[in-house]
Amino acid sequence: MAQAKVFVLVGGISKDSLNRKLFQFFKEEAAGKLSFDQFGIESLPFFSQDIEDDPPESVTDFKKRIAASDGVLIVTPEYNRSFPGVLKNALDWGSRPYGSSVWGGKPAGLVGTSPGAIGTFGAQSQIRQVLAFLDLRLMQQPEFYFTFPKETPGGKLPESARNFLSGYVSKFADWVSR
């Protein structure tokens, strides 16, 4: 069977985003199991109902690529114990116009990292409410809260972190391939 294709939204858009780094590690662990289509959500305009019926190309491209994927992976930073607005903007675009959401029924995974001790628990607990409403089929277990290590010698995660990530990746690959 062909590898499942996963559409990826990374909620950190700064050039040194830790969540982008986390996704790079995720991709390495998933090599040979999953393929990825990463979308730069910073290219989407702020959502407005004034333009939802005739949106710019970035939006039509975004929706087309989600529809063509077998699953979705969300990688979220934590901003003020919630998830960043730029991620909510992307989720909102995918849900509109009313009746044409691309999210319903898609298998989904949710991970995130921050330097803080709770490793995006606050962000993830809030985004879960939105994902449930959008009818994404979120893999509920294992959960993935991750304090990004202060050092990554040789550009690698410490072994315990790598094992944690590879456990998640295996379960997620099964989830989207069902």
Shortest distance, position 30 Cβ to ligand FMN, whole Å: 19
By C-beta, is 19 or 101 nearer to ligand FMN? Answer: 19
Min CB(142)–ligand FMN separation in Å: 20
Secondary structure of residue 42 in the 3-state scheme: helix
Choose between 8 and 102: whose C-beta lies nearer to ligand FMN.
8
User: CA nearest 143: which of 123, 115, 157, 116?
Assistant: 123
Of the pair 107, 122, the CB lying nearest ligand FMN is at: 122
* Total Cβ atoms within 10 A of residue 155: 8
Rounded least distance, CB 104 to ligand FMN, Å: 27
Shortest Cβ distance from residue 103 to ligand FMN (Å)?
A: 22
Distance CA 84, CA 36 (A): 22
Task: Identify the residue whose tokens are 């509920």.
Answer: 140
Least separation in angstroms between residue 15's CB and ligand FMN is: 10
Q: How far is the CB of 98 from ligand FMN (least distance, A)?
A: 31
Residue (114 or 124) nearer to ligand FMN, CB: 114
* Nearest CB to ligand FMN, comparing residues 29 and 78: 78
Specify the residue, 55 or 122, whose C-beta has the smaller distance to ligand FMN: 122
With a CB cutoff of 8 Å and minimum separation 6, the contacts of 54 are: none
> Maximum distance among all alpha carbons in the chain?
49
Alpha helices in the chain (DSSP H): 18-29, 57-67, 85-94, 121-133, 159-177
- Which amino acid is it at 39? F
Residue whose entry in the numeric block shows the structure tokens 């390495």: 28
Cα distance between residue 95 and residue 76, in whole Å: 18
Residues that bind ligand FMN (CB under 6 A): 12, 14, 17-19, 77-81, 114-116, 122
